[in-house]
Amino acid sequence: MNLTTLRIDLDRLHRQLVTLGGIGALPGGGVARLALSDADRAGRDLVVDWMRKLGLQVTVDRIGNVLGLRPGESDGLPVTVGSHIDTVKAGGIYDGNLGVLAGLEVIAVLNDAGIVTKRPLAVGFFTNEEGSRFAPDMMGSAVHQGFLDLDQALAVRGIDGKSVGEELVRIGYAGEVPTGIFRAHCYFELHVEQGPVLEQEGMQIGAVEGVQGISWTEYRISGVSNHAGTTPMRMRRDAGYLAAAISVEARAIAQAMGGDQVATTGLLQFKPNLVNVIPGEAVITVDLRNTDEMLLQAAERRMHEFVARNAAAENLDVQQRVLARFEPVAFDPVMVDLVEREAHRLGYSVRRMPSGAGHDAQMFAPNCPTAMIFVPSVRGISHNPAEFTTQDQIGAGAQVLLGVVLEQAMK
């Protein structure tokens, strides 16, 4: 059979995306399936059921990663497709979910055509890619590929005080399969871009060359809570003031450095958080990212010095905790070429590009040839219920995924 004539079934893929997106659906659109929540469990159960119906051999490892294996003609390492199905607290239905369900669609196409690939195939989803509830992000794939200690990950407490280990047991996904030893022949991940570049340039496919470095820090600031009217400015130990200053400094750092540097304060909490009380405690997070490790380190240094100087000036105690730290990752150029070539062969416009978001693929990249395929995000919006990618754009990405998987699995 001529494999180049195989076509993904876009209606089937889209139906599954919408069905999975209905679990944890938010009233005005979008979805909330924080890692290891009840909604995450329901989403997992559904995808596992779909995997079994496709005849995949499903395994769950000790950090709750789920892999479905399809044997090939020969034993050996599987050509692996994966992503995640957890979401941020108010996210879209595409982030992560598309990559997993497109992987299942590849399997469905091969089943329908009665094709057994030479190499085995695996499709998986990895625990807590988002990192919104439990830090770091990419937790499951990091443990899976041997870059994060299992016990350390299981002990992590989330924003609600529960631990990863407890929550895995509670939702029934504390599996038996050991972590850190799975190796893939190669790894592919289809994902929405989550940024504006492809849309602005009118491109259909992104051939992702790598992922930028990520640095997440939490600052817990302690001062003295006091009366907002009676406490002279010179006598204040205002934790809220330093937190606000850190947020402004993060923006200043990114502006001063320019280039690819980005900086975000995504979490800011005051105690007691009342109009007429000086905050005695504050918690703030800073997310710094750059494609260049040296520049990322320079941004971290500048923030570190700023916090130390200003905490001393306001007589505050600051506890600093690294929540996540990943160096920039480059994908295998041969694999990036493969994505580009396949997209061109199918008649799609392609742009090579870095990824601004973190992805499970970056955990595979040091261990096996890895590549990602991006499809556009309408208006560049993501981590937002309004996240949207058109059916045509999804179809193009899934078709490229099918092509590159076959290319690797048939030789």
In the complex, the residues that contact ligand GLV under the rule CB under 6 A are 130, 137, 357-358
* 8-state DSSP, 387: -
Closest to Mn ion by CB, 23 vs 406, is 23
Q: Are strands 186-192 and 121-125 parallel, antiparallel or unpaired?
A: unpaired
Structure token digits, residue 4: 């180049």
Closest to ligand GLV by CB, 358 vs 395, is 358
> In the complex, what is the shortest distance from the CB of residue 158 to ligand GLV, in angstroms, rounded to a whole number?
15
Select from Mn ion, ligand GLV, none the partner in contact with residue 61, using the beta carbon and a kind-dependent cut-off of 5 to 8 Å.
none
- How many C-beta atoms lie closer than 10 Å to residue 358's C-beta? 24
In the block, residue with structure tokens 């990419």: 138
Select from Mn ion, ligand GLV, none the partner in contact with residue 193, using the beta carbon and a kind-dependent cut-off of 5 to 8 Å.
none
CA atoms within 13 A on the CB side of 146: 10
Closest to ligand GLV by CB, 12 vs 89, is 89
State the virtual CA torsion across 307, 310, 313, 316 in degrees, nearest 10.
-50
Closest to Mn ion by CB, 129 vs 167, is 129
Select from Mn ion, ligand GLV, none the partner in contact with residue 387, using the beta carbon and a kind-dependent cut-off of 5 to 8 Å.
none
- Nearest-CB residue to Mn ion? 96
Select from Mn ion, ligand GLV, none the partner in contact with residue 395, using the beta carbon and a kind-dependent cut-off of 5 to 8 Å.
none
Q: Which residues would be at the binding site for Mn ion (CB under 5 A)?
A: 95-96
Q: Which of 337, 93, 55 is nearest to 207 (CA)?
A: 337
In the block, residue with structure tokens 């295998």: 332
Select from Mn ion, ligand GLV, none the partner in contact with residue 192, using the beta carbon and a kind-dependent cut-off of 5 to 8 Å.
none
The separation between CA 280 and the C-alpha centre of its own chain, rounded to angstroms, equals: 34
> In the complex, what is the shortest distance from the CB of residue 320 to ligand GLV, in angstroms, rounded to a whole number?
20
Nearest 5°: phi and psi at 381? -95, 135
The continuous run of DSSP H or E covering 110 comes out as helix 97-113
Closest to ligand GLV by CB, 158 vs 358, is 358
CA atoms within 13 A on the CB side of 170: 13
> In the complex, what is the shortest distance from the CB of residue 358 to ligand GLV, in angstroms, rounded to a whole number?
4
Residues 6+ apart with CB under 8 A from 86: 33, 34, 35, 36, 40, 43, 96, 127, 128, 129, 130
> In the complex, what is the shortest distance from the CB of residue 383 to ligand GLV, in angstroms, rounded to a whole number?
7
> In the complex, what is the shortest distance from the CB of residue 288 to ligand GLV, in angstroms, rounded to a whole number?
12
Q: Could you give the CA distance from residue 210 to residue 332 in angstroms, rounded to a whole number?
A: 9
Q: Could you give the CA distance from residue 174 to residue 160 in angstroms, rounded to a whole number?
A: 19
Select from Mn ion, ligand GLV, none the partner in contact with residue 105, using the beta carbon and a kind-dependent cut-off of 5 to 8 Å.
none
In the block, residue with structure tokens 């570049």: 197
Select from ligand GLV, Mn ion, none the partner in contact with residue 137, using the beta carbon and a kind-dependent cut-off of 5 to 8 Å.
ligand GLV
Instruction: State the chain's maximal CA–CA distance in angstroms.
Output: 83
Select from Mn ion, ligand GLV, none the partner in contact with residue 358, using the beta carbon and a kind-dependent cut-off of 5 to 8 Å.
ligand GLV
Select from ligand GLV, Mn ion, none the partner in contact with residue 245, using the beta carbon and a kind-dependent cut-off of 5 to 8 Å.
none
Closest to ligand GLV by CB, 119 vs 359, is 359
> In the complex, what is the shortest distance from the CB of residue 357 to ligand GLV, in angstroms, rounded to a whole number?
4
Closest to ligand GLV by CB, 87 vs 204, is 87
Closest to ligand GLV by CB, 107 vs 142, is 142
For CA atoms 262, 266, 267, 270, give the dihedral sign: positive
> In the complex, what is the shortest distance from the CB of residue 189 to ligand GLV, in angstroms, rounded to a whole number?
12
CB 372 within 8 A of CB 78: no
Q: Could you give the CA distance from residue 314 to residue 378 in angstroms, rounded to a whole number?
A: 44
> In the complex, what is the shortest distance from the CB of residue 214 to ligand GLV, in angstroms, rounded to a whole number?
7
Closest to ligand GLV by CB, 68 vs 358, is 358
> In the complex, what is the shortest distance from the CB of residue 289 to ligand GLV, in angstroms, rounded to a whole number?
8
- Rg, C-alpha atoms of the chain: 22
